Amino acid sequence: MARKTGSHAQITGPKIRSEALRLFARHGFAAVSMRQIAAAVGVQAGALYLYTPDKEALLFDLLKTHMDELLEAWAGEPRGAGPVEALEAFVRFHIRFNLSRPDAVFLSYMELRNLGSANFVMIEDLRKAYERELEEILIAGQQAKVFAIPDTKLATMALIAMLTGVTTWFREGGRLSQARIAAIYWDMARKAVGA
């Protein structure tokens, strides 16, 4: 099938998302103009509106995709039999996944406030579903008496904040390898829950 000159939908669509993700994470959603995104992609600003109805929808698409991929990746992650093994799997998975997508992680933290309330609730629910995955591990370990946790809800929030924090300071080629960092965090997480 013949296409008009300058037709590159299969390239432009993904490129808009990747450049928008990079720019939003670097400068903030409100600070980035549609013209900047278009320039980074290599098209004119008007062309963006063939791929997104408006700027907020572009942000929502990025956040929704990230959360979907996060939950899907965790669902497909192998994990051991007991709560301790499951917690170790979660800790290592969370660090590995988040470090592979630092821009998306940062965006999911910072730019939820730029979403309308309906979109906000949708992303928020996915985030809660992910947190629930960790809490269920903690509850199982608590019931099996292999964890000693004063409050599983607080432990969930504490562990996720601790693990996600890695993305704010980790730099490739730094003092410690990603594997070493994951091992150290697993050690601290394990101790924190009394395992």
The least CB distance from residue 11 to a second copy, in Å, is 29
DSSP string covering the chain, please?
----TT--HHHHHHHHHHHHHHHHHHH-TTT--HHHHHHHHTS-HHHHTTT-SSHHHHHHHHHHHHHHHHHHHHHT----SSHHHHHHHHHHHHHHHHHT-HHHHHHHHHSGGGS-HHHHHHHHHHHHHHHHHHHHHHHHHHHTTS---S-HHHHHHHHHHHHHTHHHH--TTSSS-HHHHHHHHHHHHHHHTT-
Choice between 114 and 156, CB closer to DNA: 114
**Residues 45-84 contacting DNA, CB under 7 A:** 45-47, 49-50, 53-56
d(CA 185, CA 25): 25
Contact flag: residue 187 with a second copy (CB under 8 A): yes
Whether the CB-CB separation of 116 and 170 falls below 8 Å is answered with no
The least CB distance from residue 27 to a second copy, in Å, is 6
Binding-site partner at residue 177 among a second copy, DNA, none, CB < 5 to 8 Å by type: none
Contact flag: residue 188 with a second copy (CB under 8 A): yes
By CB under 8 A, name the one of 69, 129, 165, 177 that touches a second copy: 165
The least CB distance from residue 116 to DNA, in Å, is 11
Choice between 54 and 125, CB closer to DNA: 54
Contact flag: residue 150 with a second copy (CB under 8 A): yes
Contact flag: residue 23 with DNA (CB under 7 A): no
By CB under 8 A, name the one of 26, 42, 177, 179 that touches a second copy: 26
Contacts to a second copy by CB under 8 A: 26-31, 109-111, 113-114, 150-151, 153-155, 157-162, 164-166, 168-169, 175-176, 181, 183-185, 187-189, 191-194
